[in-house]
Amino acid sequence: MRKNQLFLCSLLISLFMYAQEDPLNVIVFGAHPDDCDVDAGGTAILFSKMGHKVKFVSLTNGDAGHYAMGGGELAKIRIAEAKEAGKRFGVEYTVLDNHDGELMPTLENRLKVIREIRKWNADIVIAPRPNDYHPDHRYTGVLVQDAAYMVIVPNVAADTPPLEKNPVFLYSEDRFQKPSPFEPDIAVIIDDVFNQKIHAMAAHESQFFDWLPWTSGNLDKVPKDEKGRLEFLANWRSRKPNRATLECLKTWYGAKAANAKHAEGFEICEYGKQPSETEIKRLFPMLKKE
């Protein structure tokens, strides 16, 4: 009986704390309907499981990413795949209707990004750096950078109430060295949810089992069965943390870092809020030394 009372008590405390600590709002921007997934999918699952709210936004509708389909027909398939992926990740998934391969850093697009960030009341904004191999990725980086600070200016996009504070803007990890290499400030171990990430990513069938294998000449190596496909994707996407990420993991996870198999790294963009270590820990509650 006492046990039950204790449990009830602890439940109430939890609820009380939850009431005190609002869930975090995380928004991730990608150029195409599978980019957020690759860049921050594991972290998103972890946030989601802890009761926080995550939104993925693709700035293009992906209507150029296939060898045998295209246009509105393809866009509709990719939007449906993104919706399914969102369910699997436990996140909301929005696809903006810009042509794939034609994303430009216009004011119009910047304002769309500003409104998405405001409507999500974001604490954390994640996007690619403005250097990456695909022009749409680079201009996604530019557009999200250009939304930083402007999200708090009431006269800009006056139809959508501004945020009270500039959120933390983070760059997702990439391998590019020029003009300066990616330097992770935060890195999240996603081993526990790696399989779920792969399963969620697999919802983008037209991408991971059609288009991308085709571009690398591997279309014939893609398994036909569900299980085989998940293994294929897991092998393809499995990449040990590199040296810089490993160093970063150690900072946040201590000894645990050494065994990490899968991680997602993030660099703090200088144009958003510059969080302290304490703030980072509050914003990334999954970062914990054992």
Interface residues with its own copies (CB under 8 A)?
Answer: 61, 63-76, 79, 95-97, 99-102, 104, 107-108, 110-111, 131-135, 138, 145-146, 148-150, 152-160, 176-180, 215, 270-271
**Closer to its own copies by Cβ: residue 220 or 270:** 270
Residue among 155 and 235 whose Cβ is closer to its own copies = 155
Q: Identify any residues that bridge with 268 across adjacent strands, giving them in sequence order.
A: 170
For the CB of residue 47, give the shortest distance to its own copies in the complex, in Å: 26
CB of 175 vs its own copies, minimal distance in Å: 8
| Least distance CB 255 / its own copies (angstroms) | 30
Q: How far is the CB of 180 from its own copies (least distance, A)?
A: 5
Q: Which is nearer to its own copies, 39 or 136 (CB)?
A: 136
How far separated are the first and last CA of the chain, in Å rounded? 32
Q: Nearer Cβ to its own copies, position 51 or 71?
A: 71
Q: Closer CB to its own copies, residue 13 or residue 104?
A: 104
Phi, psi of 107 (to 5 degrees): -60, -40
Tokens representing 41 are 């999918």
- DSSP code of residue 22: P
Six-digit token string for 51:
């009761």
Q: Which residues pair with 95 in a beta bridge?
A: 58
Amino acid type, 95: V
Place of tokens 């591997």: 218
Q: Measured from the CB atom, is 75 or 257 closer to its own copies?
A: 75
Of the candidates 254, 262, 211, the residue with the CA atom closest to the CA atom of residue 42: 262
Q: Quick one: tokens of 204?
A: 């983008």
Q: What is the smallest separation between the CB atom of 280 and its own copies, expressed in angstroms?
A: 18
What is the C-alpha to C-alpha distance for residues 23 and 208, in angstroms, rounded to an integer?
32
CB of 137 to its own copies, least distance (A): 10
For 14, the token pair is 């939890």
| Contact call for residues 139 and 105 (beta carbons, < 8 A) | yes
